A = this chain, B = another copy of it.
Amino acid sequence: MARSPEQLYSELLAHLRQVALLESCGAILGWDEQTCLPAGGSELRADQSALLAGLAHERATAPVVGELLGELTSRGWPADAASPERANLREIARSYRRATALPRRLVEELTKATSLSQKTWVAARKQRQFSLFLPDLERVIALRREVAQALARGECDPYDALIDEYEPAMTAADIAQLFAPLRHELVKLIGQIGQSGRQPPVEILTRHYPADAQRAFSFEAASEIGFNFEEGRLDVAAHPFCSGIGPGDCRLTTRYDTHHFPGAFFGTLHEAGHGIYEQGLNREAWGTPLGSACSLGVHESQSRLWENLVGRSLAYWQRAFPKAQKMFPEALQGVSLDQFHAAINDVRPSFIRVESDEVTYNLHIMLRFELEQLLVSGELAPADLPGAWNERFQRDFGITPSHDSDGCLQDVHWSAGYLGYFPTYCLGNMIAAQLFDTARAQLGDLDAAFRAGEFQPLREWLNTQIHQHGKRWPTAELVQRVTGKPLSSEPLVRHLKERFGPLYGL
């Protein structure tokens, strides 16, 4: 007897859940690699990760997926084009097309190469020697270019094919169009801030902040905004990240510098924002697109929203600052709330993206967006990266890093093969500002809530508007639905002017 479309659909989802389960095993190994793995275990880990990635890829590309998709399409199921099932099938088909474009050999090689190159990157960054990292970077870029070609199938630009993995339905041209007006406004704002003559007392942030107290303060902040530690962790790693392993297990990392308060604190809020998204996904739909984050841009909107729009607001610190003073009496004695708030919102050109301010951050991203397009097109050889980086950095920021660990070695992304990923960070900033605008309009006085330590209304609004829908709509459509307007950089520019205007007397 022929099976019903509902049965075929169930079978398809069950198959995909097995893939997700294998991938979640790989996610544990990936987390462990960054947080726990002894130095001597790198080679074994590379083999393990490659094997799991290969097995997951094998199942994700199994002919049965294509057959089930084809059968459901030919039967015109589901009839309702706006149904969640239809959205699920659309995204499953998209992933299947992408996955079947890549031979298993390439997937395994890339996994192994990136596992090893991340180790090399750590060593090279520590020793400030790009040359140590170059052979690994060359291998990773070459493999990633191969991936891009295979994905593009000659039908689109290879770099667009890479972007599509992180930000479905968006192209380099779309992004460039969104970035251009933003860049214009940023340059203007940075100029005004530079000319304001105001210098926030940033020295207070580099006093002695004991690591244990930072840890406790960060845990509490993450917990207060709603990250659930019964179903998650916060550990130390060289590069902060959030790994949503699966239902009930979401892991954040940060790093503590005893002479730099903002790094770990805002890093933790940031990763907790990602974590709250992961923990807020629809569990019933786990392992399917409807139970997965919409895109990296939307993911980043959640982290940046909590980190910046909430975490760097005056209202937040009206409540948190007295607690900080108790926790860090040595560093914050005699410091006023206004001084502290100005310091954590200091805007000035600096080398390290993850420690940069809300304004210049976006220029850091645009620089990487520019360079990685050249790396993928082949116009820039990996060996020439440090020179190209420093030249553009001087152009955008008026300063040049004195070594590559302050330059092109600072980020883990390229060592991990993540090309096409960086622009989503800046998209996230835009989306965050646009969502926050709407949340304020719908929820009323959020500042009063933050002053009272009430983050639940905002978190629940985000859950209902964003988290629960997974990949039901692509980013642009989701933003349009929630905010009633097309995605644009205007809300971000408005937010930056509102925040930094008063602080710098503009």
Please, which residues of chain B bring their CB within 8 A of the CB of A247?
40-41, 43-44
Shortest Cβ distance from residue A364 to the other chain B in the assembled complex, whole angstroms: 33
Please, which residues of chain B bring their CB within 8 A of the CB of A233?
36, 38
User: Which A43-75 residues have C-beta < 8 A from chain B?
Assistant: 43-45, 47-48, 51-52, 55
Contact A229 B48 (CB under 8 A): no
Complex CA–CA separation, A47 to B21 (angstroms): 8
Among A28, A228, A229: residue with most chain B CB under 10 A: A28
Complex CA–CA separation, A55 to B231 (angstroms): 27
Is A42's beta carbon under 8 Å from chain B?
yes
Please, which residues of chain B bring their CB within 8 A of the CB of A24?
44, 48
**A41 and chain B: residue at smallest CB distance:** B249
Contact A22 B51 (CB under 8 A): yes
A: contact size bracket: 20 to 34
Provide the main secondary structure of the chain A interface: helix
Choice from B47, B51, B245 contacting A41 with Cβ under 8 Å:
B245
Q: A32-B32, A36-B233 are in contact. Are A21 and B43 (CB under 8 A)?
A: no
Contact B41 A231 (CB under 8 A): yes
Contact B25 A231 (CB under 8 A): no
Choice from B25, B32, B39, B42 contacting A48 with Cβ under 8 Å:
B25
Complex CA–CA separation, A22 to B52 (angstroms): 8
Please, which residues of chain B bring their CB within 8 A of the CB of A51?
18, 21-22, 25
Complex CA–CA separation, A221 to B387 (angstroms): 49
Complex CA–CA separation, A453 to B499 (angstroms): 64
Is A37's beta carbon under 8 Å from chain B?
yes
Shortest Cβ distance from residue A360 to the other chain B in the assembled complex, whole angstroms: 36
Shortest Cβ distance from residue A476 to the other chain B in the assembled complex, whole angstroms: 32
Is A29's beta carbon under 8 Å from chain B?
yes
Please, which residues of chain B bring their CB within 8 A of the CB of A245?
41, 44
User: Which A231-245 residues have C-beta < 8 A from chain B?
Assistant: 231-233, 245
Is A289's beta carbon under 8 Å from chain B?
no
A-B residue pairs in contact (CB < 8 Å), sample of 19: A18-B51, A21-B51, A24-B44, A24-B48, A25-B52, A28-B32, A28-B48, A32-B32, A38-B233, A38-B248, A39-B231, A40-B230, A40-B231, A40-B232, A40-B248, A41-B245, A41-B247, A48-B246, A55-B55
- Known contacts A38-B230, A38-B232; 5 further A-B pairs (Cβ under 8 A): A24-B48, A25-B29, A38-B231, A44-B247, A55-B55
